[in-house]
Structures are given as structure tokens and as C-alpha cells.
């Protein structure tokens, strides 16, 4: 926009479009598109479905959108009305994109109809049945979708939720079930963004609850069109963020740390020199601070503190554990082991998102001991770090029990069914992740395999890429 559309005297020829903009602003943009008054629209998935924007000639995807269906949907926005069109997918350094470029058959042969959420997933279904039973009693032999409900109704009776009288199942618990279905969800309400520049008070955007901690913290730069705003104050309880226009030459990127505790293991099996399992976890996510990053050069030009309540989530996860004796042989140095796990988690996360047809943010990744006594993060210096539950740095040698586990968790309260299929597919996931890391052309590790790596890391005994490879080989079924 700086280059192509900088003459303020003319109406803009380039437009940005995304969710979060006010409806009136979006409608204005859609009208301009339909009327052919624009040369270029820079958009998020908000433009993917259900918006009439007329015909485009070219559709350029900045990276793989995360699902095959979304890829075709977005490419299909160009070339309406029998006119030829061009669709381009520009692969980024993201591991998902790099994987796809090496395995184009994944895009061309996959059926876009494959579901990514399993409505019959036990937990989802149980919550739905619970809510339905509150509204109206079930009858014996009744079904809910394709499922036979006998077992589930029996379970809810044993839990003291339902009572059977004759052939009907009555609600007897005294709580309202929908309150318990999710701990934190979008239902908690959106935040409004209020522009207070020059003493004004104008609502300029609405942001959903889950995105707020990572985007509207005090000090954050928040973009509307190409205008940056700085968040002056976030009123968490009042669901408001107050912003002012700024000329900052940087954007902000929140750092988040997740520590995880295993609540229940549903199933597990031996895999390679370790164990793969799935079950229920409790997650605490903290946003300790943010980075200021300069436009274009992407230099880190400073840090700021974030002061927000911890975000808690009950969800499902799949995790891998390595036999401590085998780990000791393969990666004697704990610092290298931590970096190996963090790199392996990075690669597995990307491969799993692709396989589950999920977006990267639908899944989370974490490395820790599974008991909440320590967790591992990439520290501000780019190095792997152990942290205690209070988020203080912990020397790797000081961890009493050093049995790192690698988690991929379902990033929605209660889980939307992503973990169980990942568990089933766990062996192949590890193979694909190892393939991704092993075949990368970088010397020591890069954002396309194990995540960003410092130049000094290239001189270590094992590079981050070699350490990640060692972990993945331990997890590999044979």
C-alpha cells in the first residue's frame, strides 16, 4: 500500500478486508469491489465464503490456508463468468507449506470433503445429549443422529443427572447443563475496540474473546486498514480496549507460554522407545510479554510486558513420552534434549495440522513433564528454557524428574475431536515429521522445519535440527 496507493487525494485502489472490521466498513468495501473500483484486495478468510464481490482475475494465496477445501474456495474467487483466471499459491517458509510443495499430491488427490471435526466424538456428543435431555426427556430406543444412546443415558443416570421412569429419561440434576459445556468460549462475549484519538470515542472494531489476549494487550499495535492503532488500555472485565492512532514503525507479537497437566489418560500404547497416549488435560496459558518488530526488516526492536489473567482450558490432547534411559543415551545434555523436544514439537504440530485438516491455531503444542512441575519454552534469546509453575527460569539440571513429554492439544474448550484421530495416526505423524526435518535443506534448523534458529546454534555439538531429529527417531515406531 505504501508503494501503490500512496496518493491521499485519490480514492483508494487497494483495500484491506477482514473480520473484526465494522459491518458498515466491510459493506462499503464489498460495494467498491463489485463496482470494479479497486485494483487489489488484501483479505483474510473473511472473504472466503458468502460475500458477493464480483469477478476477480487473479487470486494469490499467501501460504497454504490450512485445508484443501479452503484452498479451492479461495482460488475459486477468481475467474467467474467464463473468464480465464489465474490462481497462485505462494509457499511460505512455514513447514506446512514446505511439506505441501514436496507432496503436491496431498492437495490434488485429497478429497476436500474430509471432515475435520467429529460430531460423534464422545465428549462432544455427551455434552449435546446432556443439553438435549435438559430440554425434553429422551425415550428408550431413541437415537441422536446415528448413535444409539442407551449407554450414554445410563452413564448420565449413574452420574445423577438423569432418572429413568417407565420408558423415559428425566432430567433430575439441579444445574443448567449449557453452563458447564465450556469453561471459556466465544460465548463469553466479544470485546469492542474504541478509538479515543483526540478525545473521541468511536467503536472501530469487534474482537472475539479468544483472540483478545494475543492481540489487544496494553501496548499492542492493532491494525485497521493500513492505519496502526496502539492499545492504551484493556478493560478486561468491561470487554473494551481503548486505542489511539499511532505512527509506530513496528508491529507487536505476543509471547505465550502454555503449561499442561494431564488429568486423565484415556488410552496409550508403546511407540518406538516411548509411549503415545491421549486423554484429558488442563492447560494454563500465560502471556508474559510481547515483541516489537519493525516492518519490512522484521528486526526485533524491543519488548513490553503484558499483564493479563492466565487463560485456562480443559481440553483433550495426544502426547508422546520417551523412555528416560533411551533419552539419556541419545541426548545426554538436558539443554539439547529440551531443544530437541521443542523442535520436534514444532515439526509435529505443523504436520498434524495438515493431517487433521485443521488450521495451525486449532491445535496447540507444549513440552513439559505433564505434571505441571516444569514446562519448556523458547526463551526471549531464542534458546530452549525450562520454567517452573510460577514462570521462573529453571536450570535443566535442577528438574528433579526429567521426563519430557510432547503435547499436541485441541485448542478449544472440551476439545472438538482433533486428538483422537491424531492418536490413531500417531505413528505416521512421527514419520512425516521426521521426513520434514530430515529433508530440509537448511544447515542447523529454520522456520520450515524446527523453528527459527540463531546463528550461534549452528556451532553447537548438535544443531537444533539434529537434536529434533534424535527425538523424533526415538518416537518412531519400528
Interface residue list for Zn ion (CB under 5 A): 440, 442, 446, 448-449
Contact of 458 with 303, CB cutoff 8 Å: no
| Beta carbons within 8 Å of 50's beta carbon, 6+ residues apart | none
**Residue 204 or residue 450: which is nearer to Zn ion going by CB?**
450
β-strand 168-171 against 162-165: which pairing, if any?
antiparallel
As measured in angstroms, the least distance from the Cβ of 438 to Zn ion is 10
**Residue 313 or residue 448: which is nearer to Zn ion going by CB?**
448
Tell me whether residue 306 is exposed, middle or buried, using C-beta atoms within 10 angstroms of its C-beta: 0 to 12, 13 to 18, 19 or more. Answer: buried
**Residue 85 or residue 442: which is nearer to Zn ion going by CB?**
442
As measured in angstroms, the least distance from the Cβ of 300 to Zn ion is 20
Q: Rounded to whole angstroms, how far apart are CA atoms 328 and 274?
A: 13
Pick from 410, 403, 411: which is nearest to 376 by CA?
Answer: 403
Tell me whether residue 81 is exposed, middle or buried, using C-beta atoms within 10 angstroms of its C-beta: 0 to 12, 13 to 18, 19 or more. Answer: exposed
β-strand 14-17 against 40-43: which pairing, if any?
parallel
Question: Using alpha carbons only, how large is the chain's radius of gyration in Å?
Answer: 25
Q: Rounded to whole angstroms, how far apart are CA atoms 218 and 307?
A: 8
**Residue 67 or residue 98: which is nearer to Zn ion going by CB?**
98
As measured in angstroms, the least distance from the Cβ of 102 to Zn ion is 12
Q: How far is CA 242 from CA 64, 188, 221, 377, in A?
A: 34, 19, 12, 31
β-bridge mates for residue 242, sequence order: 194, 233
| Beta carbons within 8 Å of 444's beta carbon, 6+ residues apart | 453, 457, 458, 463, 464, 465
**Residue 129 or residue 446: which is nearer to Zn ion going by CB?**
446
Q: Which of the 8 DSSP states describes residue 348?
A: H
Q: Rounded to whole angstroms, how far apart are CA atoms 21 and 34?
A: 19
Q: Rounded to whole angstroms, how far apart are CA atoms 115 and 165?
A: 38
Pick from 474, 432, 375: which is nearest to 96 by CA?
Answer: 432
As measured in angstroms, the least distance from the Cβ of 381 to Zn ion is 20
As measured in angstroms, the least distance from the Cβ of 442 to Zn ion is 3
**Residue 317 or residue 378: which is nearer to Zn ion going by CB?**
378
**Residue 259 or residue 349: which is nearer to Zn ion going by CB?**
349
**Residue 360 or residue 453: which is nearer to Zn ion going by CB?**
453
Residue whose cell numbers read 546463528: 455
As measured in angstroms, the least distance from the Cβ of 91 to Zn ion is 14
**Residue 107 or residue 442: which is nearer to Zn ion going by CB?**
442
As measured in angstroms, the least distance from the Cβ of 227 to Zn ion is 36
**Residue 420 or residue 449: which is nearer to Zn ion going by CB?**
449
As measured in angstroms, the least distance from the Cβ of 383 to Zn ion is 17
As measured in angstroms, the least distance from the Cβ of 116 to Zn ion is 27
Greatest extent of the chain over all pairs of C-alpha atoms, in Å: 77
φ/ψ of residue 10, rounded to 5: -100, 155
As measured in angstroms, the least distance from the Cβ of 316 to Zn ion is 30
Amino acid at each position: 500500500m505504501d508503494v501503490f496507493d500512496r496518493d491521499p487525494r485519490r480514492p483508494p485502489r487497494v483495500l484491506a478486508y477482514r473480520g473484526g472490521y465494522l459491518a458498515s466498513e466491510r459493506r462499503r468495501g464489498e460495494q467498491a469491489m463489485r463496482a470494479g473500483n479497486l485494483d487489489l484486495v488484501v483479505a483474510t478468510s473473511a472473504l472466503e465464503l458468502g460475500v458477493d464481490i464480483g469477478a476477480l482475475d487473479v487470486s494469490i494465496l499467501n501460504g497454504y490456508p490450512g485445508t484443501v477445501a479452503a484452498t479451492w474456495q479461495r482460488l475459486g474467487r477468481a475467474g467467474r463468468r467464463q473468464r480465464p483466471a489465474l490462481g497462485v499459491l505462494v509457499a511460505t517458509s512455514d513447514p506446512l507449506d514446505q511439506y505441501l510443495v514436496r507432496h503436491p499430491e496431498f492437495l490434488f488427490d485429497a478429497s476436500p470433503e474430509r471432515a475435520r471435526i467429529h460430531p460423534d466424538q464422545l465428549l462432544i456428543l455427551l455434552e449435546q445429549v446432556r443439553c438435549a435431555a435438559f430440554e425434553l426427556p429422551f425415550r428408550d430406543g431413541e437415537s441422536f443422529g446415528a448413535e444409539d444412546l442407551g449407554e450414554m443415558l445410563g452413564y448420565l443416570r449413574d452420574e445423577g443427572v438423569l432418572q429413568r421412569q417407565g420408558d423415559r429419561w428425566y432430567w433430575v440434576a439441579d444445574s443448567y447443563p449449557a453452563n458447564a459445556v465450556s469453561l471459556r468460549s466465544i460465548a463469553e462475549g466479544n470485546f469492542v475496540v474504541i478509538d479515543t484519538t483526540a478525545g473521541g470515542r468511536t467503536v472501530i472494531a469487534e474482537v472475539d474473546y479468544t483472540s483478545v489476549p494475543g492481540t489487544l494487550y496494553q501496548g499492542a499495535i492493532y491494525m485497521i486498514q493500513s492505519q496502526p492503532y496502539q492499545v492504551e488500555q484493556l478493560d478486561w472485565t468491561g470487554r473494551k480496549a481503548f486505542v489511539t492512532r499511532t505512527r509506530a514503525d513496528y508491529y507487536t507479537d505476543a509471547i505465550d507460554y502454555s503449561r499442561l497437566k494431564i488429568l486423565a489418560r484415556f488410552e496409550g500404547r508403546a511407540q518406538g522407545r516411548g509411549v503415545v497416549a491421549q486423554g484429558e488435560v488442563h492447560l494454563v496459558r500465560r502471556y508474559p510479554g510481547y515483541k516489537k518488530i519493525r516492518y519490512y526488516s522484521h528486526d526485533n526492536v524491543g519488548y513490553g510486558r503484558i499483564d493479563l489473567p492466565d487463560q485456562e482450558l480443559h481440553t483433550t490432547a495426544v502426547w508422546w513420552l520417551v523412555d528416560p534411559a533411551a533419552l539419556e543415551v541419545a541426548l545426554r545434555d538436558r539443554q539439547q534434549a529440551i531443544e530437541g523436544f521443542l523442535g520436534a514439537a514444532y515439526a509435529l504440530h505443523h504436520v498434524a495440522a495438515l493431517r487433521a485438516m485443521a488450521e495451525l491455531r486449532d491445535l496447540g503444542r507444549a513440552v513439559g513433564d505433564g505434571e505441571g512441575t516444569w514446562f519448556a519454552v523458547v526463551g526471549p534469546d531464542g534458546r530452549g528454557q525450562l520454567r517452573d509453575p510460577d514462570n521462573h527460569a529453571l536450570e535443566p539440571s535442577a528438574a528433579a524428574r526429567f521426563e519430557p513429554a510432547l503435547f499436541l492439544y485441541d485448542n478449544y474448550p472440551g476439545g472438538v475431536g482433533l486428538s483422537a484421530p491424531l492418536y490413531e495416526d500417531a505413528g505416521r505423524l512421527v514419520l512425516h515429521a521426521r521426513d520434514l526435518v530430515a529433508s530440509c535443506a537448511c544447515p542447523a534448523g529454520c522456520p520450515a522445519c524446527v523453528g527459527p534458529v540463531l546463528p550461534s546454534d549452528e556451532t553447537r555439538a548438535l544443531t537444533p535440527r539434529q537434536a529434533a531429529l534424535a527425538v523424533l527417531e526415538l518416537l518412531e515406531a519400528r
